[in-house]
Amino acid sequence: MRWFRLCAALLAAFTLASAQSPTGKWIAKYSSDDEAREIVLALNVDSGGAVTGYVLAPQYEDRIVEGKASGGQVIFVAERDANNNTKRRSNYSAVLEGDKLKLTMPPSGNRPPQVIEFTRTSAEAPAPLPPAPPKIALAAPAAVRDNGLARTPPMGWNSWNKFAGRVNDKVVREIADAMARNGMKAAGYVYVNIDDTWESARDSQGNIGANSKFPDMKALADYVHGKGLKLGIYSSPGPKTCAGYEASYQHEAQDAKTYAAWGIDYLKYDWCSASRVYAPDAATMQAAYAKMGEALLASGRHMVYSLCQYGMLDVGEWGAKVSGNLWRTTGDISDRWQSMSHIGFDLQPGREKYAAPGHWNDPDMLEIGNGGMTDIEYRTHMSLWCLLAAPLLAGNDLRDVKPSILEILTNKEAIAVDQDKLGKQGVRVAKNGDLEVWARPLADGGHAVGLFNRGDAAAKVTAKWSDVGVQGAHKVRDLWAHADRGKAKDEYTAEVPSHGVVMIKIAK
């Protein structure tokens, strides 16, 4: 492993004044609320500097497979069970400073590497981490009935992309206020979804609670409902959520009833630590999601069911069978052109056969307005998601949003494409290098067409009617310019900026 050899060589050449051994058990406590969690770091350094041990967090365990310590510096490679019966390796480095050890944690999803300070609780060589228990295998369940919801792709807002663990009751109320007054609600955005980090420990009866950031979840739901909006929440089929909070493993029916009592309208259910307890096969994953699908149906309240398992194990084949209304098709999006364009253009073709009213492919939440892309790129983001019949879940701070961003998010002509009741997902119909044409049939007999330029310079893009599936002369409407372009026969050509789009509707 090139990274490890390089770091080991640097360690061998570098010596700090302190020669204290990092052997022992180290603890880091972390919390953004009243629910304190901890990470355990166990290190054992032999006389030659070789390192063994593990990193144990609420939602994962990383076992050290290779490591080296020298002069107060430690580097190691740790491995954990991942999905699809694979192993995931992560690179760590640490510096010993007196009685503290500063560990650089590897990046995770959109989160960059972070440094966490550990305190030693024992200088004894730690015992090895016991082998993980056998994974639970489940038989594929009978189909769960359709909940009748999300006949068009859900629209709303989710807290994670902007706020992550900083979300709280005040933020959610203020976002609901903003949506009600700034045109988002009027444009169709109705769900206000709380992502991870709201959870508290269970009470003596096993009921899930909310932590101090959310002092009264029922009152919050009532407030959001009073704005004419709906409230969403987040959990996992595993023991812990992605951020290490209490999840729904073995409490599915109980949690669904709690959500119903609070007035929840939407559940995002994220696989995360489920890979620690469940076997990595499609039947088991399907059964784990079916448990919550059944529980939501039995809860007494209608809740949209969002499966977040990153498109693994052919989820499109069975997502609707567990009462899922939408299912993620890829890993997490980030606020970068490379991430958004790869997820949208490269990873969605072929999935269109799974989309239909009530059941949607989900290429992840919108990054529009978070600052990592240009307005031109955000317009491309919005256009492609609308052509894909994707859920539209804004992820920016709607309390303080630029007019140009609000204009992108609330473009009613683009949204009409996304919400078209025919429910047909668009497909790529032509590709010439960086130039692509995507098309989607509409309920009124027309077609929505996107002329995309993924290249670094402006270019002319042509949509041929034969590729779209029409012929003759048709009226053309530019959905971003909000302008009629007259009739075009056989094809339509437009100058498209770098990373940009021209989105049109071809009349019947």
Q: What's residue 164's pLDDT? A: 93
Q: Residue type at 342? A: H
- State the average pLDDT for the chain: 93
Query: What's the average model confidence in pLDDT over 44-49?
Result: 93
Q: What's residue 32's pLDDT? A: 61
pLDDT digits (tens, 9 = 90+) for 388-407: 999 999 999 999 999 999 99
Q: Above 60 in pLDDT, residue 2?
A: no
* Cβ neighbourhood burial of 206 (10 Å; 0-12, 13-18, 19+): exposed
Are residues 409 and 397 in contact, defined by beta-carbon separation less than 8 angstroms?
no
Q: What's residue 112's pLDDT? A: 77
Q: What's residue 11's pLDDT? A: 47
Query: Distance between CA atoms of 263 and 302, rounded to whole angstroms?
Result: 9
Range from 79-93, 96-110, 124-138, 454-468 that averages highest in pLDDT: 454-468
Query: What's the average model confidence in pLDDT over 329-348?
Result: 97
* Residue 418: strand, helix, or coil: helix
Q: Model confidence at 5, in pLDDT bands (50, 70, 90)?
A: low
Q: What's residue 13's pLDDT? A: 40
Q: What's residue 14's pLDDT? A: 42
Q: Does the CA dihedral 464-466-472-473 come out positive or negative? A: negative
Q: Model confidence at 246, in pLDDT bands (50, 70, 90)?
A: very high
Q: What's residue 18's pLDDT? A: 40
Superfamily of the domain at 155-425: Aldolase class I (3.20.20.70)
Least confident of 86-90, 110-114, 294-298: 110-114
Angle, vertex CA 161, rays to CA 279 and CA 214, nearest 5: 85
Least confident of 5-14, 80-89, 125-134, 428-437: 5-14
H helix intervals, 310-370 = 315-318, 337-341
CA distances from 83 to 310, 311, 424 (A): 10, 11, 31
Torsion of CA 477, 429, 392, 238, to 10 degrees: 180
pLDDT digits (tens, 9 = 90+) for 111-127: 678 899 999 999 999 99
Q: Model confidence at 35, in pLDDT bands (50, 70, 90)?
A: low
For the chain, which residues make up each domain, given as ranges? 2-122, 155-425, 428-506
Are residues 372 and 334 in contact, defined by beta-carbon separation less than 8 angstroms?
yes
Q: Model confidence at 362, in pLDDT bands (50, 70, 90)?
A: very high
Q: Above 60 in pLDDT, residue 145?
A: yes
Query: Distance between CA atoms of 44 and 497, rounded to whole angstroms?
Result: 57
CATH class in words for 2-122: mainly beta
pLDDT digits (tens, 9 = 90+) for 403-443: 999 999 999 999 999 999 999 999 999 999 999 999 999 99
Query: What's the average model confidence in pLDDT over 326-351?
Result: 97
Q: Model confidence at 106, in pLDDT bands (50, 70, 90)?
A: confident
Query: What's the average model confidence in pLDDT over 196-212?
Result: 96
The CATH topology of domain 428-506 is: Immunoglobulin-like (2.60.40)
Phi, psi of 152 (to 5 degrees): -125, 160
Q: Which of 342, 338, 394 is nearest to 163 (CA)?
A: 394
Q: Do domains 2-122 and 428-506 have the same CATH topology?
A: no
pLDDT digits (tens, 9 = 90+) for 446-463: 999 999 999 999 999 999
Q: Model confidence at 110, in pLDDT bands (50, 70, 90)?
A: low
* Catalytically active residues, by annotation: 270, 332
Q: What's residue 87's pLDDT? A: 83
Q: Above 90 in pLDDT, residue 95?
A: yes
Q: Above 90 in pLDDT, residue 498?
A: yes
Q: What's residue 86's pLDDT? A: 76
Q: Above 80 in pLDDT, residue 249?
A: yes
pLDDT digits (tens, 9 = 90+) for 69-79: 998 899 999 99
Query: What's the average model confidence in pLDDT over 369-394?
Result: 98
